[in-house]
Structure 1
Amino acid sequence: MNWTKLKEVRELLGYSQGDIADKTGLKQKDISLLEAGKKKFIPLEYILFLYNQNIDINSIYAESLPITVRNDNNTPNAIDENTGVEHIKNTQILSPNNTKKLSPTLSPTQTLGLPKVITVAENDREVISLVSAKSAAGYLNGYADPEYIEQLPTLRIPNIGHGTFRAFEIKGQSMSPTLHNSSLGIGQWIESFEDIRDRRIYTIVTRSEGIVTKRVLNRINDTGRLILISDNQNKREYPNILLDPEEVLEMWYLRANLAFEFPEPDAIYNRVNDLEAKVTLIMDQLQHRLK
């Protein structure tokens, strides 16, 4: 991966590789490897450092974009005469704890911030990492580890839209008949619990329940809980789950589903099909008799 812009940013900021290492907690060797294009991922610590310096991370990932610096005031966009860097107004800045700045009345549990790791292909476009049922347990420990994410298989889904996506294998029948066992749910990252749309389907990575795919009711403002609901009508086997937002590590809004098996039609549908077949045969026999 070509991260040569990182060197350009460092020089614009007037830092040495040692300075960056001190500010991020990374090793100077890792900074050197990043700038040499020998690392596939930018570590989270480095991304947070860029945000704290007001560097627009999108301008790092996209070769076609100039390096831009965010500016929260209402002054017009301007080009710095000394550096040639464009300052963009009215862009949100992330705080050092990887969350959006919150209003005094908004609970810190309302935000999830950015994904810990983003997978990028050689053309600087994000690819979709796939978390299979077998790797689900490992993902709970490795979701923030670039080396672990790098080992996951990836896939591409055309025309899925902009955003950060991840694919999770659905295990079990809790979401039947909507989602079936072994299908793949393609989820889009959401930054805040406020983005939850009631009764939509999400894959939630949790400390207590593991990785689950459920419909979600957001009742954080009312009761401080999320309510996770299965589509399967067997509520004895698949009861609703009350989840504290502090238990949520990641949350992905389901945008697509790849199914590899198709359900058998129900009994009523079978009887209608049988009746339709009989009517078709009777009509065919009548047409032959009339000829």
Structure 2
Amino acid sequence: LAGYDDPEYIEQLQKIKLPFLPTGKHRAFPIKGDSMLPMKDGSFVIGKFIEEKRDIRTGRTYILITLNDGMVYKRVINNIDLNGSLMLCSDNKFYHDYSVPIDDVVEIWEFACSINTQEYSKEELQISSILTMFNELGIEVATLRNKLS
């Protein structure tokens, strides 16, 4: 993180061209942990640089470089107009949401794609499919509840 604003450090980073990415400035970030399932620990998230903080869209995922938390990859709720902050949410509900003042955000990179460096095991895929099934079931229950109300 100490090199994020050092042009010499950035220039010496390895480069790769991915022809399917849209125009713009992109960078790959390593993922650690399990807060953003189904991203595996050791995967890479490619982000597109966002210059204007007002361009952050609620519900999208971003890699944020922050003064206090370093690099984080989270789903974002844009509360800049409300209270000058971003609510950062993990897709894995085991982790709690937390707020970051927009003034603490140094760089913003919107998710463009991801690269897995390991295969998923059968067990991981089964857990993933079970979670998907429960999420879909929850949506159906909510729809039924709304119709009955």
**Closer/same/farther in 2, CA of residues 219 and 153 from structure 1, 3 Å limit:** same
Matched, 1:242 2:106: no
1:175 aligns with 2:32: no
- After the TM superposition, list the runs of 4 or more consecutive aligned residues in structure 1 that deviate by more than 6 angstroms: none
Q: What is the rounded CA distance, in whole Å, between the counterparts of 2:100 and 2:128 in structure 1?
A: 37
* Structure 2 residue runs without a partner (length 5+): 131-149
Higher gyration radius (CA): 1
In structure 2, C-alpha distance between the alignment counterparts of 1:208 and 1:228, rounded to whole Å: 14
Which one has a larger percent strand, Structure 1 or Structure 2?
2
Tell me how far apart the structure 1 counterparts of residues 129 and 73 of structure 2 sit (CA, whole Å): 28
Find the aligned partners of 2:44 and 2:88 in 1 and give their Cα distance.
19
Tell which has more relative contact order, 1 or 2 (C-alpha 8 A, sep 6+).
2
1:153 Cα deviation after fit: 1.8
Confirm or deny that 1:208 pairs with 2:76. Answer: no
Give CA-to-partner distance per residue, 1:181-227, whole Å, 9 cap, x none.
11111100111121111111100000010100000000111122100
Aligned to 2:79: 219
TM-score (norm 1): 0.42
State the match for 1:194 in structure 2: 54
> Secondary structure of the residue that 2:24 maps to in structure 1?
coil
What is the CA RMSD across the aligned residues, in angstroms?
1.8
After TM superposition, the structure 1 = structure 2 runs for residues 2-17 of structure 1, keeping only pairs within 5 Å, are none
With over 3 angstroms needed to count, the CA separation of the structure-2 counterparts of 1:269 and 1:226, relative to structure 1, is closer
Which aligned pairs between 1:1-291 and structure 2 lie closer than 5 A?
A: 140-177=1-38, 179-234=39-94, 238-261=95-118, 262=120, 264-266=124-126
Q: Which SS does the other structure have where 2:22 is aligned?
A: coil
Residue identity (%):
40
1:156 Cα offset (Å): 1.4
C-alpha separation in 2, matches of 1:204 and 1:268? 26
Unaligned runs of 5+ in 1: 1-139, 271-291
TM-score, structure 2 normalization: 0.79
Tell me: CA distance 1:180–1:145, structure 2 relative to 1, closer, same or farther (3 Å): same
